[in-house]
């Protein structure tokens, strides 16, 4: 039996194309670094609906519980746009997050030196950027009750969503942020709207409690979410780790992602609580969507998916040195001017999905 088991869910659109390059990377680490990773592949999203009539089969969900980590490509596409909401492809991803209790979403925003000029901000503002946003993923206004749309007596309609957080929900995601900061720059910024929302007051108080009782060696600041949004485009390099609730984390992480110049470069991780052996259930996926407009063209950028596997190495497979090696190989590809269409610039070499995966493996061979 292999030391590590990973479930691969390529999904829809460009998902299978970019995930094929990740499989090549895994095979390389098994051969050259004794990684001892076994993989199994299954369906999610529209691909699962076409076979099972639902976006995630129960057997696949059971598999996800039994492995060390899940790697997901992308879900969705126009083919399934008219399905009932309950069986849309995206519901497969949401079921994975919910049933694995993946409460902490990690979204790094890293600007590689070779791509600094691709950002919409001035190069000097983003060159060397390396920040992490930790978003609470299973609570807040997206899940709070009561919710819904109702008819009023006067004929108007009323829409209601409720922001709800508990002490335990806030403290556990705060601990994830503090643990990450200890391995990075040692600074956490907690973000909410405590000036106008009671849930924000509670958020601020509970994050402060975790700091004061468990992580006094890590610096903690608080900032309102609207101010963080402003500062991200004014001086993003001031941040190390930002922790926030579901709604603000959704918005701020998308904003931070565009500082880098391309969604095709950005990985993410969603982590659950640690078990008795110190292991967390985990799902890794690129930030980009299924990109049906380029699916099948062989021109999708696989680097976000490859970098998601690097996160998997670091957080689920106890292979931080291998993650460093893989990230260095990706960086060297970019330094050498290898580009897929989404990040192509004059004077660089335009390649497709497979050639980019091969280029990463070539640099891995050079680095060992």
Which residues are catalytically annotated?
142, 193, 226, 250, 254
Residue 221 pairs in a beta bridge with: 189
Contact 144, 163 (CB under 8 A): yes
The residue assigned the tokens 């001892």 is: 36
Q: Which one, of 35, 14, 40, lies nearest residue 25 by Cα?
A: 35
Question: Can you tell me the distance from the alpha carbon of 137 to that of 244, in angstroms, rounded to the nearest whole number?
Answer: 10
Q: Which one, of 345, 259, 254, 263, lies nearest residue 301 by Cα?
A: 263
Residues 6+ apart with CB under 8 A from 316: 4, 68, 69, 279, 280, 282, 284
Residue 222 pairs in a beta bridge with: 190
Rounded to the nearest 10°, the torsion over CA 92, 279, 185, 220 is 80
């Amino acid at each position: 039996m292999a030391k590590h088991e990973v479930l691969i869910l390529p999904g829809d659109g460009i998902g299978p194309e970019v995930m094929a390059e990740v499989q090549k990377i895994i095979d390389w680490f098994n051969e050259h670094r004794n990684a001892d990773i076994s993989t199994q592949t299954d369906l999610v999203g529209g691909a699962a609906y076409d076979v099972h009539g639902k976006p995630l089969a129960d057997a696949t969900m059971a598999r996800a519980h039994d492995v060390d980590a899940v790697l997901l490509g992308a879900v969705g596409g126009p083919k399934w746009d008219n399905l009932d909401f309950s069986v849309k492809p995206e519901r497969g991803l949401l079921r994975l997050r919910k049933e694995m209790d993946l409460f902490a979403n990690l979204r790094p925003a890293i600007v590689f030196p070779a791509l600094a000029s691709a950002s919409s901000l001035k190069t000097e503002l983003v060159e060397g950027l390396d920040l992490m946003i930790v978003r609470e993923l299973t609570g807040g206004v997206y899940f709070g009750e009561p919710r819904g749309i109702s008819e009023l007596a006067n004929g108007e309609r009323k829409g209601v969503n409720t922001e709800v957080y508990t002490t335990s929900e806030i403290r556990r995601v705060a601990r994830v942020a503090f643990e990450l900061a200890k391995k990075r720059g040692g600074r956490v910024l907690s973000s909410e709207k405590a000036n106008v929302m009671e849930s924000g007051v509670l958020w601020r108080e509970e994050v402060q409690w975790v700091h004061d009782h468990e992580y006094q060696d890590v610096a903690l600041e608080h900032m309102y979410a609207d101010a963080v949004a402003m500062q991200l485009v004014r001086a993003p390099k001031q941040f190390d780790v930002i922790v926030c609730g579901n709604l603000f984390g959704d918005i701020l992480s998308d904003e931070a992602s565009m500082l880098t110049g391309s969604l095709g470069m950005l990985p993410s991780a969603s982590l659950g609580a640690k078990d008795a052996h110190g292991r967390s259930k985990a799902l890794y996926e690129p930030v980009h969507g299924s990109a049906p407009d380029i699916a099948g063209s062989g021109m999708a950028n696989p680097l976000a998916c490859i970098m998601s596997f690097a996160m998997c190495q670091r957080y689920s497979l106890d292979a931080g040195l291998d993650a460093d090696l893989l990230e260095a190989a990706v960086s060297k590809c970019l330094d050498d001017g290898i580009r897929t269409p989404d990040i192509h610039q004059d004077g660089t070499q335009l390649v497709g999905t497979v050639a980019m995966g091969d280029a990463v493996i070539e640099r891995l061979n050079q680095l060992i």
